[in-house]
Amino acid sequence: MKYKRILLKLSGEALMGERQYGIDPKRLAEYANEIKQITNEGVEVAIVIGGGNIFRGVAGASKGMDRVQADHMGMLATVINGLALQSALEDAEIPTRLQSAIKINEVAEPFIKRRAIRHLEKGRVVIFGGGTGNPYFTTDSAAVLRAIEINADVILKGTRVDGIYTADPEKDSQATKFDFITFDDVLRKGLKVMDTTAFTLSQENELPIIVFDMNKTGNLLKVISGESIGTKVNL
């Protein structure tokens, strides 16, 4: 395998499947099977999930809600998604631990770097919930931060699009896909990969990002194997 330890970033919306909101058990089971394929190969897997399928802090704040309050609601939504994914992974007989940046000791361990790394070394999947634990930071930022802390080899951003394009391929049929692009080119071209804080943190720590279609069966294993799937962002 090309990568030994990865951080997989999933959007909350990805868990909706064909629904308009909430969590689709069928999609969860599909993701669990994809993740099982790579854990069977000995890959150490950490996961960060967004909460947009349940509550998005920025959207709440735009409607007049206090931003800090709204962001805390979003963090709790990521814990709910984490619990759902943990259940699906355990149904697939994958040992899993959920760690939260917000203390919810009855449902999740607190985030402790050394404990997280120990879980990974023992073959357990570790899900990081609660974002960074601070308002004003997205789950993209949480993903990069946790990836750096656990010394991940790469961040895999699983989306419904098969990479980074010159424009939104769902809106522009002329958009062309990049197989490889540098951090500087992403910034210069104004392409949307992650929010600026997360992207800059990844660049400063020389942590590559691969954007790929998580909904296509077998893609996760192909990425881990080093196949040219999606778009790789590197120095």
Q: Residue 235: pLDDT band by 50, 70, 90 thresholds? A: confident
Q: What is the pTM of this model?
A: 0.94
Please tell me the predicted confidence (pLDDT) of residue 204: 96
Q: Which of 9, 40, 5 is nearest to 194 (CA)?
A: 9
CATH of the domain at 41: 3.40.1160.10
Average pLDDT rounded to a whole number, residues 37-54 = 96
Please tell me the predicted confidence (pLDDT) of residue 17: 86
DSSP for the chain, written as a single string: ---SEEEEEE-GGGGGTTSSSS--HHHHHHHHHHHHHHHTTT-EEEEEE--TTT--HHHHHHTT--HHHHHHHHHHHHHHHHHHHHHHHHHTT--EEEEESS--TTTSEEP-HHHHHHHHHTT-EEEEESTTSSTT--HHHHHHHHHHHTT-SEEEEEESSSSEESS-TTT-TT--EESEEEHHHHHHHT--SS-HHHHHHHHHTT--EEEEETTSTTHHHHHHTT---SEEEE-
Could you give the percent of the chain with pLDDT greater than 90?
84
Indicate the average pLDDT of the chain. Answer: 94
Whether the per-residue pLDDT at 84 is higher than 90: the answer is yes
**Each residue's pLDDT tens digit, 107-164:** 999 999 999 999 999 999 999 999 999 999 999 999 999 999 999 999 999 988 899 9
- Into how many domains does the chain fold? 1
Range of the domain at 214: 5-234
